[in-house]
Structure 1
Amino acid sequence: MNHRFIPIAILVFVLISLWLVPIWAEEETENGEASKISVVVTANRIPTKESETTAEVTVITAGEVQESGVTSIVDLLERVPGIQFRSDSTTAKSQISMGGFGESSFGRVVVMVDGKRLNNPDMSSINWQSISLESIERIEVLHGGGSVLYGSGAIGGVINIITKKQSDPLSLSISSTLESYQSFKEAISAGIARGNGSLSVSGDYYSSDGYRDSSEQQAAHGKITGNLYPTSKLVLDLGLGYSYNYYQMPGGLTKDQLEDDPTEAVNHADESTEHILSADLHGEYQATDKLLFDTLLGYEYKNFSPDMPSWGSYYYDNIYHSLSFQPQASFETTAEGHYPITMVSGIDTRYSYLDSSTYDSAERNNATAETEVSLLSLGGYTNLEVKIGDSIGASGGFRFDGADIFTDDDNAWHIGPAWSIGLRWNPDENSKLYLRHERVFRYPFTDEQITYGTFLPDLEAEKGYLFETGGSIKISSLLEIKGRAYLNLMKHEIVYNTATSQNENLDETRRIGGETELTLKPKPWLTMSGSYAYVLPTFIHGDNEDKEIPLVSKHVAGASLLFALPHRLETELGTSYRGSSYQGGDNANTQEKVDGYVIVDASLRWKPTTRMGNLTIIFSVDNLLDENYASYVYYNSWSDTSSYYPGQGRSCTLSGRYSL
């Protein structure tokens, strides 16, 4: 298949659909089926209609999560335009990328659960299997920068996973999934609500032998949440969670090995185990109709123990302690009695401590190195939203933020101010056009500041300037078009240099990009969707001037067709395309490019009629054509070798879910 024609096909699909829109819109209006769409999101850290945010926001609802049939949040988020994943081990440790970032891209996306950060203080990526799909109420994806409201790392995007709050007197949900490679997942959630409180519990277990040899994975999670409403103005939420994750790391292949047998493993003893304990206390106090106080206090303990004999007998015990405190106040008023103003102000405080020990054997009797490093950050922010009439809105915000990364002997202080301004026009209630500018930043990870035991005091924090325009058009449930175009100018991006074995600041970089998404429902039985994302990431100064930034595909596209069939059946056919990119570590663009690829997926959903509750059965096939491709490729200039990490081959999944 000629991959160059995929973006052209998506564009043709979009143009034809736009040409047919007036016909379909007229038909639906004549049938009297038009309805308004109003989605409330928390992109501004307070509930706001999506059409009144000065940014592009994608919302994934609980229903869409349940009907997807996926076993991982990675598979769910990959369907969102502008989001890419790559992995050098398992799906659980996939690295997310938004906004055209390559190495350590996960450091430029803030990921939260109910407003609490999941990002680690060091370079270890988020463990996506620690997020239970059963507990998700919705997922909000903010495309583009958000440093004013969310601080360090909110450069490419922000993802907030919002969990369910028990409101029904009784709820119960049970699901079971069987998948290829001897994979299965069981999940259960239940809850009760009485008087001034509610209680909910959820848990799941996942096990898989993996697509490749030596890629076994196991994960178990449990969470209990209590909600208390002492008065009509006060809400208290307490959550306690535990997560266990075990996975093997089969290692990178040569290109010949990838083409000959992508399931092969070169590391048969590399593995890792994680234990995570978390506790969160969230409170809301509605002082007046216009004034709301919100506070989040969170603690997390993580024990991360990788065994890496392939690295020369390296065995690690990494123990993390993280404490966060986030008080916030939001206030509504009017200027001169005509212009409604919403102000959000708050403080973000975070302390993280890492105790890392290296041993010479799996028994961990003899420690060969030990590092203790802490990060203390404090930031204050204010953001204003002003409505000028019924259709114009303006926004502006500022954050002053500082972080200290320190050991017993050394420390580095970083300052990350951020600001934003924006203008929005709503031609109708559910559509918008916007312009915005934001100054963004990211502090170094703790193990970027300390490389193999060496403290790097001259390593600078990343900073950038984002210019963006975009909008959305919604015509009832018939049509939705969303898109944005952006320019991101970055300074001091941090990457690891294999030639010097140190983390270093890059020369200035530039990203010019755009994303568009189209959803059409011309008939009650047909839903069509298409998306396309483009980004040109380049170095604009230094030895690699005009070279492309590695690990970034310039073209990413997708399309799907969903048919509603008789007898409560639905079938969906989807395809996704990722263009070629340069290998990680190849800043000079001298190595062979990583080939692009096309993935085709198909699924069949059945919702049979039941006397009580709801039952959904889903059968899906991912990578239907069994495409052999590399999810991630990294070039080591010191050894002059490239490591290819295969993506997963064809996989079949059968899942069932029952809920009251």
Structure 2
Amino acid sequence: MGNYSSLKLNRRIFAVLWLCIFSFCLYAQENRSYIVTAARDTEEAFEAAGNVIVITSDDIEKSGKSSLVEILENVANIQLSSISGTNQDAQVNMRGFGENAFGRVLVMIDGRRLNNPDMSAVNLNAVPVESIDRIEILDGSASALYGDNAVGGVINIITKESTQPLSLVGGFSVGNNWTTGTHFGYTASEGYSGFSMFVDNTSTDGWRERTKNKTFNALVSGYVDVTDKITIRPFLNMTDTSYELPGSLTKEQYNTNRKKSYSLVDDGEKRIVGGGLSFAWQITDNFSFDLPIGSDYKKTKFNTGSYFSYTDSLQKNINVRPVLRFSEDFGNSFGFALQAGYDFSYTDFSATIFSEKARKNKTSDTKINQTMNAPYVTVSVDLPYQVQLEGAARYDTENIKINSTENEATGDKKYKEFVYSGGFSVKVLDNFQFFGRVSRLFRYPFVDEIASYSGWGASFNKGLKAETGYDIQFGVKFRYKDMISGKINCFYMPMEDEIWYNAATFKNENYAKTLRTGFNADISFSPVKFVAFRTGVSYINANFVDGTNAAKFIPLVSPWSFTAAVDLKPVDWLVLTSDLVYRSGAYASGDISNKYEQLPSFMLANITMNIQYKGFQFTAKANNILDTKYSTYTGVYEDYITGEPVFYYYPAQGRNYSLSLSYRKQM
């Protein structure tokens, strides 16, 4: 009965949204120059049969945001959480997944996967912000295109390629909590070649005790036109990170002094080195071949002294992604595009656990080999009356071999999934578009969901299945000149075999069926050239469907999210920006039966002033100016003796300020 009532409520919400959207349609607009690669091929954002948000380098520069986490925080359909209150361990959540939500969002740089095979989140700081040309955010499943992890959405970071004979940028920033940053960028191109280099370095003592962290990033890339039809693009990247972890607080500690840390021994280090090249061959005007090859080396030291566990992990990956593309324009509005590719990835992963920080006595040693193979095909057909049909299919396999000194954690596991998607778009008068899409989706378990090798009881969970489901969405986009643009998509997302940790059995299990319904809406309005408004709304109703917790809400998911920003440009050299972020309340981690109080909702207010003059840019920024007290991650468990709930909190940052100065020159 509860599910039926929930569905009726969703229908009412959807109906109200549609009425609101049609009331805006007279003013719709979207920048036509944007193209996206979230469909694994270039196309205009407005043409894509889905909800794609594009954030350009100009948007980032005007916003004054200095990290990818700050940028994503202002996207309504993305929720971020952190157990340190800093950007270092920020985890991304799309489409209402609670625990380990980052495993259901695929994050890429120039089409290269950043997701890890184990339960460690993507390092969202592993790219110099100055190197970003645009960020493409695809809402919803893209399993048929990209495979594992692409369940709730895809975030694709596209880096800059040198287009000017010479371009230089450099700058520094300072802020409270002894926060400093420097960045430098250089691009050059001449004739048939180009070169780019971007470096940034940030450090802070942190707003809370024991949140000191440092990050160094470097990205070097280039291109060489070997002939007028063949281009080679090499790249090399490096990230070095060190950080402290402050631990959680009890409810009393959180209410008394949320800056305090009672964990004095937890910290970590990460190093990422990657490189590769892509080979692009334009065989004919309508036939091309691309061959991207990449390799990554990730080394991590994790010191969890509070649990007397010290872990060294090493991950080495090689990936090859050849693809053939063919297109044909038959005239009279008929067109056809075909893409056939193959994704191959091999990862060698090792984890060694010691009993002390000096790392003399091993408690376990685990080696994991992961091989992934996936042929895929996509097709797009253009029809008269501006109708477009899209389809994709993928056969994905994963082989995992685990060998551990914890013998119970040793074993082999094979997965295979056939997934597909189909969509349509209908454009009306060039300014209004309907779209719809149906996708089959999946996620393979993390290697440490399959095998427990951390020293706290070893096991190999051979019966653990992949998560599967469907994503059904439809929506509209609209645009009108340079005044207003907007988009909305509604979705229905049933899933089976979603994986949850069972504290009673100490295992990860395919727990139950779940259902997510909701909508995302974004509108931009610029009535005059010196004023611009942007707002986004996201609603997610995420529930368990069967079992003892049927109709209960999934923990750590805020049903409502709202973002808004106003840009004022009274003179050409000055931009004032004010933005708001709101998240509604959510149940704490572990409260799958919804027995206890929700985490309170919160709203953050930020202001930025940008002054630009003859290549110089001065930025003054204040985040969380209201000093809102909030936590993006809170958990609860029941005391083994009393049975009473025990809450633990990870406070987020309070008010913080920064000043930055940069200089940019193009020749």
Letter matched to residue 419 of structure 1: Y
Counterpart pick for 1:397 among 380, 392, 414: 392
Q: How far does the alpha carbon of each residue in 1:590-617 deviate from its partner, in whole angstroms, 9 at most, with x for none?
A: 1221111111111111112x2xxx2221
How big is each residue's C-alpha offset from its partner over 1:125-182, in whole Å with a ceiling of 9 and x where there is no partner?
0111221101111111111110111111111000110111112111111121112211
Q: State yes or no: 1:84 paired with 2:79.
A: yes
Distance 1:55 1:20 in 2: 19
* Residue type at the aligned position of 2:38: A
Are 1:446 and 2:447 an aligned pair? yes
Partner of 2:172: 176
Rounded to whole Å, the distance in 2 between the matches of 1:482 and 1:35 is 9
Alignment correspondent of 1:45: 40
TM-score, scaled to structure 1: 0.93
Is residue 231 from structure 1 mapped to residue 227 from structure 2 by the alignment? yes
In the alignment, which residue of structure 2 is the partner of 1:95? 91
**Partners of 1:227 and 1:217 in 2: how far apart?**
34
Partner of 2:59: 64
Go from structure 1 to structure 2 and tell me whether the alpha carbon gap of 1:536 and 1:178 turns closer, same or farther (over 3 Å shift). same
- Looking at structure 1, the residues matched to 327 and 225 of structure 2 have their Cα atoms a distance apart, in angstroms, of 23
Offset, 1:653: 1.4
SS in 1 for 2:598: coil
Aligned length: 636
SS of the residue 2:249 aligns to: coil
Q: More displaced, 174-183 or 208-217?
A: 174-183
1:256 and 1:13 mapped to 2: Cα distance?
A: 41
Contact 1:465 1:488 in 2 (8 A): yes
Structure 1 contact 285–292 (Cα < 8 Å) conserved: yes
CA distance in structure 2 between the partners assigned to 1:440 and 1:422 by the alignment: 14
Number of the residue aligned with 1:332:
327
Per-residue CA deviation, residues 216-265 of structure 1 (Å, 9 max, x unaligned), is 00011112213111111111111111110001000111122112211111
Q: Is the 8 A contact 1:152 1:416 kept in 2?
A: no
- Separation (CA, whole Å) in 2 of partners of 1:15 and 1:133: 39
Partners of 2:492 and 2:196 in 1: CA distance = 44
Match in the other structure for 1:578: 583
Q: Aligned-pair distance for 1:285?
A: 0.6
User: What is the aligned partner in structure 1 of residue 407 from structure 2?
Assistant: none
1:527 deviates by: 0.7
- Deviation (angstroms), 1:68: 2.1
The equivalences for 1:420-435 within 5 A come to 420-435=421-436
Deviation at 1:334?
Answer: 5.0
CA distance in 2, matches of 1:150, 1:398: 10
1:601 is aligned to 2:606: yes
Q: Call closer, same or farther: CA 1:54–1:17 in 2, change over 3 Å.
A: closer
How far the C-alpha of 1:14 sits from its partner, in A, is 12
The structural deviation recorded for 1:530 is 1.6
2:89 is aligned with what amino acid? K
Alpha carbons of structure 1 residues 454 and 271: separation in structure 2 relative to 1, 3 Å: same
SS of the counterpart of 1:407? Answer: strand
Structure 2 segments unaligned to the other structure (5+ residues): 1-14, 404-409
Instruction: Report the Cα distance in structure 2 between the residues aligned to 1:15 and 1:35, rounded to whole angstroms.
Output: 20
Query: 1:5 — aligned with what?
Result: none
CA distance in 1, matches of 2:546, 2:31: 49
Structure 2: distance between partners of 1:492 and 1:12: 33
Q: Aligned residue for 2:365?
A: 370
| Partners of 1:110 and 1:117 within 8 A in 2 | yes
CA distance in 2: counterparts of 1:117 and 1:163, whole angstroms: 14
Shift of 1:12: 12
Q: For the structure 1 residues 580 and 338, does the alpha-carbon distance in structure 2 shift closer, same or farther, using more than 3 Å as the test?
A: closer
Aligned partner of 2:401 in structure 1 is 406
* 2:661 corresponds to: 656
Relative to structure 1, the CA distance from residue 521 to residue 352 in structure 2 (aligned partners, 3 Å threshold; closer, same or farther) is same
TM-score (normalizing by structure 2) = 0.92
State the alpha-carbon separation in 1 of the partners of residues 587 and 449 from structure 2.
23
Return the match for 1:472 from 477, 496, 500: 477
Partners in 2 of 1:93 and 1:485 — Cα distance?
30
The whole-number CA distance in structure 2 between the counterparts of 1:353 and 1:285 is 31
**Cα distance, 1:38 vs structure 2:** 3.3
Q: Could you tell me how far 1:430 is from its partner in structure 2?
A: 4.4
Residues 533-574 of structure 1: per-residue CA shift (max 9 Å, x gap): 101100111111111111100111122221111362111122
Instruction: Give the whole-Å Cα distance in 2 for the aligned partners of 1:148 and 1:259.
Output: 46
| Partner secondary structure for residue 428 of structure 2 | coil
Verify the 8 A CA contact 1:431 1:471 in the aligned structure 2. Answer: yes
Larger mean Cα displacement after TM superposition, 646-655 or 193-202: 193-202
Deviation at 1:333, TM superposition (A): 2.2
> Distance in 2 between the 1:70 and 1:473 partners?
28
Q: What amino acid is aligned across from residue 481 of structure 1 in structure 2?
A: G
Match of 2:205 in 1: 209
Q: Percent identity?
A: 30
DSSP 3-state at the match of 1:258: helix
1:63 aligned counterpart, secondary structure: helix
For residues 635 and 279 of structure 1, the distance between their equivalents in structure 2, rounded to whole angstroms, comes to 42
1:297 aligns with 2:293: yes
Summarize deviations over 1:170-221 as a string: whole Å, max 9, x none.
1111121112211011000112222321222111111000111011000111
Measure how far apart 1:389 and its partner are: 1.1
Alignment-derived partner of residue 569 in structure 2: 564
Q: Given the superposition, is the C-alpha separation of residues 344 and 101 from structure 1 closer, same or farther in structure 2, using an over 3 Å criterion?
A: same
Amino acid at match of 1:631: T
- 1:122 is aligned to 118
Q: Is the 8 A contact 2:32 2:46 kept in 1?
A: no
Alpha-carbon offset, residue 344 of structure 1: 1.2
How many Å separate the matches in 1 of 2:256 and 2:20? 41
Cα distance in 2 for residues equivalent to 1:335 and 1:225: 38
Is 2:148 the counterpart of 1:147? no
C-alpha separation between the residues in 2 aligned to 1:642 and 1:216?
Answer: 25
What residue is the counterpart of 1:134 in the other structure?
A: 130
Residues 336, 623 of structure 1: CA spacing in aligned structure 2 closer, same or farther, 3 A cutoff?
closer
> Structure 1: which amino acid aligns with 2:354?
Y
AA partner of residue 92 (structure 2): I
Query: How far apart are 1:577 and its partner, in Å?
Result: 1.0
Aligned pairs (5 A) from 1:98-117? 98-117=94-113
**What is the aligned partner in structure 2 of residue 591 from structure 1?**
596
Decide which moves more: 552-561 or 111-120: 552-561
Q: Are the aligned partners of 1:416 and 1:442 in contact in 2 as well (CA < 8 Å)?
A: no
Q: How far, CA to CA, are the matches of 2:188 and 2:525 in structure 1?
A: 38
Aligned residue among 239, 251, 269 for 2:265: 269
- Separation of aligned partners in 2, 1:474 and 1:236: 37
The match for 1:8 is none
Between the aligned partners of 1:449 and 1:234, the Cα distance in structure 2 is 43
SS at match of 2:88: helix
For residues 217 and 486 of structure 1, the distance between their equivalents in structure 2, rounded to whole angstroms, comes to 39
Per-residue displacement from partner, 1:409-464 (whole Å, max 9, x unpaired)?
51111112111111110113343210110000011111111123321100000111
**Cα deviation 1:74-99 (Å, max 9, x = unaligned):** 11011112001001123121110001
Query: Residue deviations 1:259-298, cap 9 Å, x none?
Result: 2211111211100001111012111110010011111111
Say which of 515, 519, 526 aligns to 2:520.
Answer: 515
Contact 1:14-1:518 within 8 A present in 2 as well:
no
Where 1:76 maps in the other structure, the secondary structure is helix
Q: Which position in structure 2 is the counterpart of 1:552?
A: 557
Per the alignment, residue 618 of structure 1 pairs with 619
Unmatched runs of 5 consecutive residues or more in structure 1 = 1-10, 26-33
- 8 Å Cα contact 2:75-2:563 kept in structure 1: no
**8 A Cα contact 2:62 2:575, kept in partner:** no
Aligned: 1:634 with 2:635: yes
After superposition, the Cα gap between the structure-2 partners of 1:642 and 1:563, relative to the gap in structure 1 and judged at 3 Å, is: same
1:419 is aligned to 420
Residue matched to 2:4? none
Judge which range, 109-118 or 649-658, deviates more. 649-658
